[in-house]
Structures are given as C-alpha cells and as structure tokens.
Amino acid sequence: MVDATASPWSLNQPPPRPRWPEAAAPEVFSGLGPGDPVIYASDLAGAGAKERLVRRLLASLPGRETNGAVQPSPGTMSLELTALGQPRLFLGGQPGPAVSFSQAAGRIYAAITCTGQVGVDAAMPAEFEAGYPMARAFRSAELDWAKSLSGGATAGAAALLWALKEAAVKALGVGFHFLDPLAVEVLSPSPWQGGIRVWVKAGRIIPAWARPEAGGWLALARYY
C-alpha cells in the first residue's frame, strides 16, 4: 500500500521513480474519493497478461481474504468490450468490478475497483517527441505546470498530461471518441500519496492521480 503519511514532494521537484518487478504486487490507492479503493498493478505484456492481472487484483480486493487465505473468484472469469472499447469484467456470468487496462513500454497495467468506474493509463515521453502537435492536445497553462514535474522537459510534461486525460476519459467509458484532447483540461495539481492528484475537467469533474513509472507516467482516474 502507498504510504499516505510520507512527506509530500514539492511541485518543483519530481517524486522518486518507483521500480516494479516483472510481476508487480498489487498496490492500493485510496485518494480518488469515497468508497472502495482502486487497486492496480502491472506485468509484462503477452498472451493472457490481462487475465492474470485481473485475477491478482481480484485477490487483493477488500474481503477477499479469510484467515490469511485468499478466496477463489466465483465461477468463470471473462473480459468483454463495449462498443466504445471499454472493458467489462464478468464473474460467473455476472457483472464484476470495474476494470481498466493500458499498455506501454512492454508492460500491461490494470486497475480495478468495486465502486464507480476506473481508468488507467501509462504514457512515455518518447510518444511526444519533436513534431508532436502539442497545441492540439494540451493547453499552455497545463504544459507550464507539468514541465515543473518533468525536469522542464516538454515531452515528459505531455506524457503526464496525456496519461491523466486518457485515464479520465477511460473512466467515463467514452475514451476520445466523443471528447477532443484539448477539451479535456487537467487542473489543480497537488502532491498526494507519492504522486500528484488533480481534477480533470471532461464535461464533468473527475479526480485523477499520477506517479512516475518506468521513465514515464502512470495515471488513475475514477468516475462515480
């Protein structure tokens, strides 16, 4: 679990970059509003990676452990996609907890929660190198504060902002099918639980959080 009592880092100094093993142990994040926490982890990308991650995350949900023994998930598990590409988890043929996935730098990231909808996204600076149309996706004010968390690098700032925006629209279940990236605004950054917590304005206000990961940024968002 992330230590919520740790001293927050300055907005002018990036937090330390965590290093996860090949199959990262699930972590619990409780800073995205009331209700159940978001549980997230990553693993190397490959066949069956999503299913393995989901099983590990399910085993970490509150109430899944009795007398120190993890209880098995009821019935079969399956993943389906909505018409807009949002993943849906079914357990024993019944709707399960909300789940979201992202892939970057050879890894699969997954997040799960029992309350509301969740979005996860990982973005790397290499995706936003010279020639990327920054003005079509990011506001100047967003890039200004995001650069202060990325050593002044525009590509790092863009990765942070994109991860937060993408996580938010995933939590809404629409992705960028109905929302333009420039119309999604990231506001009010503040240090929180080893990363940065923000509000994302995407037709409504969505809480989101991000932390450095594998040279880029990992973001979580939640919609109730």
3-class secondary structure, 119: strand
What integer pLDDT is reported at residue 145 of this predicted model? 96
Tokens 């100094």 correspond to 13
| Residues whose CB is less than 8 angstroms from the CB of residue 216 and which lie 6 or more positions away in sequence, other chains included | 104, 105, 122, 123, 124, 125, 156, 159, 163
Write the CA distances from 94 to 66, 79, 91, 169, integer angstroms. 23, 11, 5, 25
What integer pLDDT is reported at residue 177 of this predicted model? 80
Write the CA distances from 28 to 59, 100, 191, 198, integer angstroms. 12, 15, 17, 18
What integer pLDDT is reported at residue 75 of this predicted model? 66
Per-residue burial over 159-187, b = 16 or more CB atoms within 10 Å of its CB, e = otherwise = bbbbbbbbbbbbbbbbeeeebebeebbbe
Tens digits of residue pLDDT in 104-113: 999 999 999 9
Q: 72 versus 202: which is more confidently predicted?
A: 202
- Note the Cα 165 to chain centre separation in Å: 10
Tens digits of residue pLDDT in 80-101: 998 888 999 999 999 999 999 9
Confidence of residue 11 (pLDDT cuts 50, 70, 90): low
What integer pLDDT is reported at residue 110 of this predicted model? 97
- Least confident range of 7-16, 151-160, 189-198: 7-16
Mean pLDDT, the chain, whole residue set? 86
What integer pLDDT is reported at residue 178 of this predicted model? 81
- pLDDT at residue 8 above 50? no
Tokens 């907005």 correspond to 11
Confidence of residue 12 (pLDDT cuts 50, 70, 90): low
- pLDDT at residue 77 above 50? yes
Tens digits of residue pLDDT in 22-66: 777 899 998 898 778 999 999 999 999 999 999 999 999 886 543
What integer pLDDT is reported at residue 39 of this predicted model? 96
Report d(CA 137, CA 165) in Å as an integer. Answer: 10
What integer pLDDT is reported at residue 15 of this predicted model? 52
Tens digits of residue pLDDT in 123-167: 999 999 888 999 999 999 999 999 999 999 999 999 999 999 999
| Residues whose CB is less than 8 angstroms from the CB of residue 68 and which lie 6 or more positions away in sequence, other chains included | none
Closest to 214 measured CA to CA, from 110, 57, 109: 109
Residue pair 170/182 in contact by the 8 Å Cβ criterion? no
Mean pLDDT of 6-30: 63
